[in-house]
Amino acid sequence: MTMSLQTITSSIVIILTGAGIWVSGMAVSSFYWRRKCRSHQPLSSLALQHITGGVVIFDENGNLIKANQTAKKYGFSLQREPSSAKGPFFYYLDGVTPLPFVEQPLSRLLAGNSRFEQELWIMPEEGKPGSIVRISAKRIEAGARHKAALMLEIHDITTTKWAEKRLEVSEQRFKSLFEHNPDCVFWFDLEGRLLSVNPALQRLTGYSKKELEGITLGSLINRQVGPTADSLLQKVQSGQLEQFETRFAHKDGHELYMQATVIPITVNSQLVGIYLIAQDITAKREALETIRSIAYFDSLTGLPNRHHFYEHWNEALLPANDQSSPPPARAAILFVDLDRFKMINDSLGHRAGDALLQESALRMKRCVGQSGIVARLSGDEFVVLLYELSKTDCLDIAAAINEALAVPVLYDNYPLQTTASIGISLFPEHSADPEQLLQFADIAMYRVKEQGKNGVMFFDQEMNEAILRRTQLEAELRSALDNERLVLHYQPQTDAANGRLLGFEALVRWQHSERGIISPLEFIPIAEESGLITALGGWVLREACRQARAWLDCGFPPFTIAVNISMKQFQDEELYATIAQALAEARLPASYLELEITESIGLQGADRVIDKLNKLKSLGVRIAIDDFGTGYSSLHYLQKLPLDTLKIDKSFIRNMESEAAGASIVRSIIDLAHSLKLTVLAEGVEHRWQVDKLAEFGCDRLQGYYMARPMAAPDAKAWTLQAEHESI
């Protein structure tokens, strides 16, 4: 009878006893194998060596008599001399705590335990890496003629134990993440039925887990806000992650806005359920609404502001990309200016003026109704956009506005009497450009004022005298630019906390040979329309950098020089090169130059603006957003634009006293800017109480007549030296 070695090693157990080798096998005579193996001891040893686990055999007194090669790895060896420093050493599964001698496998066998399994940490000798093993211990009775043997079978389970430990840690981490997540985490089955929800649910919504038992994904999602449950289930079943906003009713009745993320749960590539993580964004939405209100609406009257007006124009009158709703064939712009408003405001105070503006806005809205929109541009100037009305209809509405505004407004038992001068321009008859139409309506309105106020007039070509004057001014401006008849004035920017000089804003002035100093409000629009703004802006940049370098050379402390960048100038592809050249020619470090952009620049397209600003920032210059709150700004763009400074428009500073919410709005703007890591500068500071209040609000910088008016360079130098002397 023959049997292969492989068959032997997989089918037999070999035990050494005091009388020889005991071999047991499946359906094999014990006697045959005892006899064979006594005469073939090398064969039995070879069989032991091919058993994958460790096999250790002791006599009944605990003396090691046989160990295969694998067992030697764990420290069992016939050649090893007895020593307390020799292994193997046994530890509990933590690998640190030694296993007491009486609990060690051999001790337990010798104590009478005939069969058991034990998991422990075994180390072959001190300093050597150990293993986690499962030891099967057996006492083998070999019959009456043979002595008993003690056998240990050793199986390495280190990998398995580590996998179990990692799984346990992973489950604990998941449970911790689930239980302690500040957001609501819902667990649904594939039918959309709720299986579990974490404790954040009650904190955020007021509902307990028990109160939501039986709820489904469909009933959880507000159908008016967000996708349907069916569409979500379809996307999740295809393995897609979905994010959306929805509303959730709090237990006490108020509504919560939630940012929801639906995540498929997969196990072994099989979809088994759905997680819905809901984050409360109610406060964020309210903050966005506040910012939107500041950015899009006039804080005093609640009317749309200039930016909102232009946005409405683009939506209502410009062709849609899909051509689904063609623009109106005609429209009209009414430029409305209140007569005698300045006299009322100056004589009776800002509160009286504010009351008149608020009531006038309400009356105009009632007159216009659904025929268009009313917006406040600034001060006592309003604009009305009407569409799909005839000239007669436009005149009727303008007349109704005049009639309504002529009725006195009672303020503190005092009648405020005003009228309105209204100019009208037509689309597309006069122009298709909203800026130009607004300009034409403005020209017509001033013609009404010239003729005695309280009237209505359409723009016509006879009003070109103003345009001719602008044309003449354009030619003279071009000459002034060529012959260096422009000058820069500098207005200090100071530290709100201590009044220390931090910088200057460079403001261009036109020294006209006949008319004296011409305001930039008059010639800057001409420069922009004529294309001169690029050359003018380049000159301002070079001159401001040159003057800043000169002041630094004569010992001025470090400061910034702020230069305004118009929209047309910002669109110039050579702007980057122009700034770099100005800095290089003046040898001025880029960090000393701050570029002020207007909010309306955001209308050009967010991505282009961000890319261009990032390119300019690469020079090392600072970027400021000017006149915040009067144009395009929103939290969305402020977060994305690479800004350093936010300048609060002077209208907000002025309204801190006259409007109830004025101070709160300024504080909110400062807090918002600081949350975005921006420096805040307040413009138009004219009174000591404004300085104190802005410092209390945490404003960083101040600029305005209270500190100093714009000055020519020599005067600015003298002012700075005097300020430095007084601070010593």
pLDDT exceeds cutoff 60 at 605: no
DSSP string, 47-69: HHHT-SSEEEEEETTS-EEEE-H
pLDDT exceeds cutoff 90 at 261: no
As a whole number, mean pLDDT of residues 447-472 equals 81
Report the first-to-last Cα separation within the chain, whole angstroms: 115
d(CA 87, CA 455): 110
Tokens 């003690």 locate to 150
CA angle 187, 188, 190 (to 5 degrees): 145
What whole-number percentage of the chain has pLDDT above 70? Answer: 83
How sure is the predictor about 490, in pLDDT bands with cuts at 50, 70 and 90?
very high
pLDDT exceeds cutoff 60 at 32: no
Domain ranges in the chain are 5-84+101-119+130-155, 181-280, 287-459, 470-727
Residue type, 613: L
Q: Kindly report the CATH number that applies to the domain delimited by 470-727.
A: 3.20.20.450
How sure is the predictor about 15, in pLDDT bands with cuts at 50, 70 and 90?
very low
The DSSP symbol for 193 reads: B
How sure is the predictor about 23, in pLDDT bands with cuts at 50, 70 and 90?
very low
How sure is the predictor about 290, in pLDDT bands with cuts at 50, 70 and 90?
confident
Beta carbons of 260 and 278 less than 8 angstroms apart: yes
How sure is the predictor about 214, in pLDDT bands with cuts at 50, 70 and 90?
confident
pLDDT exceeds cutoff 50 at 17: no
Residue type, 697: F
pLDDT exceeds cutoff 90 at 403: yes
Q: How many CA atoms lie within 13 A of 619 on its CB side?
A: 25
CATH 3.20.20.30 assigned to domain 181-280? The reply is no
How sure is the predictor about 633, in pLDDT bands with cuts at 50, 70 and 90?
low
According to DSSP, the residues that pair with 505 across neighbouring strands are 491, 562
> Among the listed ranges 2-11, 476-485, 499-508, 561-570, which one has the minimum average pLDDT value?
2-11
CATH of region 287-459, choose from 3.40.50.300, 3.40.109.10, 3.30.70.270, 3.40.50.880: 3.30.70.270
CATH of region 5-84+101-119+130-155, choose from 3.40.1350, 3.30.450, 1.10.287, 2.40.128: 3.30.450
> Among the listed ranges 218-222, 342-346, 566-570, which one has the minimum average pLDDT value?
218-222
Task: Provide the pairing of β-strand 414-416 with 516-518.
Answer: unpaired
As a whole number, mean pLDDT of residues 42-58 equals 72
As a whole number, mean pLDDT of residues 95-117 equals 90
Same topology, domains 5-84+101-119+130-155 and 181-280? Answer is yes
Rg (CA), the chain: 44
The DSSP symbol for 74 reads: T
- Over the stretch 350-382, which tens digit does the pLDDT of each residue have? 899 999 999 999 999 999 999 999 999 988 999
